Chain A
Amino acid sequence: MAKTNSLDAQTLISMYRTMAIIRNFEETMVNVYMEGKMPVFDIAGGTVPGEMHLAAGQEPVAVGVCAHLNDNDTVTAPHRAHHFAIAKGVDLKKMAAEIFGKDTGLGHGKGGHMHLFDQQKKFGCSGIIGAGMPVACGAALAAKKNGKDWVAVSFFGEGTANQGSFHESLNLAALWKLPVIFVCEDNSYAISVPKSKSTSIANNADRAASYGIPGFEIAENDVLAVYEAAREAVARARRGEGPSLMEVKTYRYLGHFQGDPELYRPKDEVAKLRESDPINKLGRQLIEQGAISEGDLVALDQEAAEKVKEAIEFARQSPYPQPADALKHVFV
């Protein structure tokens, strides 16, 4: 178990706040995404068209790791990226606007929800599995060459650990002692394929041994447990001692994408997972510790809801890009 008393109340409250914003954003997107897609679902229709991969339930990984990062540190994320972007401090309004395909978005509507780029916050994501891992190595290489104590974090799913870029990146980072933290979110499924049907070993953290680097297995979807493990991994990287691999057992409450029939998992699986919700858990801990009152907790949730509402409203009110803007930005 994580030692909550080793953390100051402000850090805990801050992590709660960020997780609450993420959860509210993702649950809001569930409804926003369905606007204009009823009664007949059409992926091309509605306010927000295209695929939508949401991360409700997976907040602890993003928040527990990013709590150790600052604006000089780089994060690369996969297709399911909202929680990482929010945890890294990406502007919520610009992110929402990008998801709505608006000109005020991070990429002027060019990228969309799987392709969010924020140069100030040093955040990027990709729709291609494993693609962020070599890029994180590159960011770390640059930090090392420039003599900075900056680190790079690459987030990815457990299915990615079977991709060539995973193994190549781990070896490269270990060989060159790059300040990278590889963080695997094990949400049990690569779309429909369970980990046991795709991966030859139970814990991907064990694979760290093949590359002579530390591997941290975090067996619970708990932000404090993630925070503690990441503290060590990030500190190690900042000290110039090289990369680490973390794997966190987390939960995906929603489908792989919105509209996923989810025939590959039992109907009651998610309901059971929700009983041990990581945000509720931290909220209870904060109250039990006397860090905050019941009223404070409600206020934190309301504050999160307000922030998300503002961001969604900003996205709604923003103009679309001009059609011919499509021809811009192939090159700078």
Chain B
Amino acid sequence: MSQVMDNATQTERLLTTSKAIAEGIAQEMERDPSVFVMGEDVGVYGGIFGSTTGLFERFGGDRIMDTPISETAFIGAATGAAMEGMRPIVELMFVDFFGVCMDQIYNHLAKNTYMSGGNQKIPVVLTTAFGGGYSDAAQHSQCLYGLFAHLPGLKIVVPSNAYDAKGLMISAIRDDNPVMFFMHKGIMGLGWMTPLPSAMAHVPEEPYTIPFGKAAIKQAGDNVTIVTLGIMVHRAMDAAKQLAAEGIQAEVIDLRTLVPLDTATIVESVKKTHRLLIVDEDYLSFGMSGEICARVVEEALDYLDAPVKRLAVPDVPIPYSRPMEQFVLPNAEKIIEAARNLARM
């Protein structure tokens, strides 16, 4: 198995997240003939969000398979093929679309290993794009990773940048369990999205893995802990710069995976800063932010000098119109304000 690498790498090559993911998939396909890709528009198009760019030309239609719009069939088929020893990567374009095939995911993909008493491996990687901020409205802007994390039996990966995305993708493919790989559209480096240069990274050409359940401390600080993931890592880092100018040192934690969740790193940080802000682009209630809050309360309540603060979508579907959408989504300004208030307590 290849080595785990740190963020400081020996390469100068800058890649977008979509190219890093495609490269990770290609390298695993070269290494392991049981790896193949299925999904809508993953072939000639290269994936609507670029995660299979160039793979069809390189591996052909037998291993990069465009599917009909038949998600119950092709996601169920991924489970079936995996149970026969294949390692399918299966894409369902937008996470908002999973309603059409949930049974195959939450009753089968997620449970067959358990129901077989651990005898059945199901090495499926289920990729999907998520997130809003570009006026794609209520059925194309959700996050929903909290919903899938709620279901036992699925590992939940949510990278924030190109370097992590490649390492986490290779780990996902090699994992013997179902892994859902969430790609925030805004970090992919797509030509038609608002550019986010900080999501590009120096990505080593050779394969490497990043372990699940190991958060990254993007910036150390003593005054307030900001826990987040995906594109909100970048918003939090922007906020941290401004906060530093005001004399508030924020510690920014990028979870990288929700399942497994690196509770230890969060708790360790809270014991140092005594203040916790959770930033989540998903819905507020019954989700990631509540779960992290609960774990910190369970393990480090006595260390908190202020109530835990959560920034998340206030339990409304994502509205289309720009002023309303910007009102409900977390952003750097809201993070600054929330962290500033926490630091004053």
The distance from the CB of A41 to the nearest CB of chain B, in whole angstroms, is 5
How many A residues have CB within 8 A of the partner chain?
49
The answer to whether A163 touches B135 (Cβ under 8 A) is no
The answer to whether A192 touches B317 (Cβ under 8 A) is no
Most buried by B among A43, A51, A129: A43
Which of A127, A160, A193, A264 is B137 in contact with, Cβ under 8 Å? A127
- The number of chain B residues touching the other chain, given as a range, is 35 or more
A19 to B71, CA, bound (A): 34
Interface of B is mostly: loop
The distance from the CB of A269 to the nearest CB of chain B, in whole angstroms, is 14
The answer to whether A51 touches B140 (Cβ under 8 A) is yes
B314 within 8 A of A: yes
A112 within 8 A of B: yes
Which A residues from 91 to 122 make CB contacts under 8 A with B?
Answer: 101-102, 107-115
A45 to B67, CA, bound (A): 32
A263 to B45, CA, bound (A): 7
A220 to B168, CA, bound (A): 49
Binary per-residue interface labels of chain B (55-99) against chain A in the complex, 1 for a CB within 8 Å, 0 otherwise: 000000000001111111100000000000000000000001101
The answer to whether B45 touches A264 (Cβ under 8 A) is yes
B332 within 8 A of A: no
The distance from the CB of A73 to the nearest CB of chain B, in whole angstroms, is 25
Binary per-residue interface labels of chain A (45-86) against chain B in the complex, 1 for a CB within 8 Å, 0 otherwise: 100011100000000000000000000000000000000000
A1 within 8 A of B: no
The answer to whether B45 touches A330 (Cβ under 8 A) is no
Binary per-residue interface labels of chain B (116-135) against chain A in the complex, 1 for a CB within 8 Å, 0 otherwise: 00000000000000000111
Which B residues from 276 to 332 make CB contacts under 8 A with A?
Answer: 314-317, 319-328
The answer to whether B326 touches A43 (Cβ under 8 A) is no
A321-B323 contact given A129-B100, A130-B100, A193-B40, CB 8 Å threshold:
yes
Binary per-residue interface labels of chain B (182-200) against chain A in the complex, 1 for a CB within 8 Å, 0 otherwise: 0000000001111100000
| Chain B residues in the interface with A (C-beta under 8 A) | 40-41, 43-45, 48, 66-73, 96-97, 99-100, 133-140, 191-195, 314-317, 319-328
List 9 additional A-B contacts (Cβ < 8 Å) besides A163-B70, A163-B71, A322-B323. A42-B192, A44-B135, A50-B135, A51-B136, A130-B69, A162-B70, A164-B73, A192-B44, A320-B323
Cross-chain pairs A/B with CB under 8 angstroms, 13 sampled = A101-B321, A109-B324, A110-B138, A112-B137, A114-B140, A127-B139, A127-B140, A191-B48, A192-B41, A193-B41, A264-B44, A324-B327, A327-B316
| Chain A residues in the interface with B (C-beta under 8 A) | 41-45, 49-51, 101-102, 107-115, 126-130, 159-160, 162-165, 190-193, 197-199, 259, 263-264, 320-327, 330
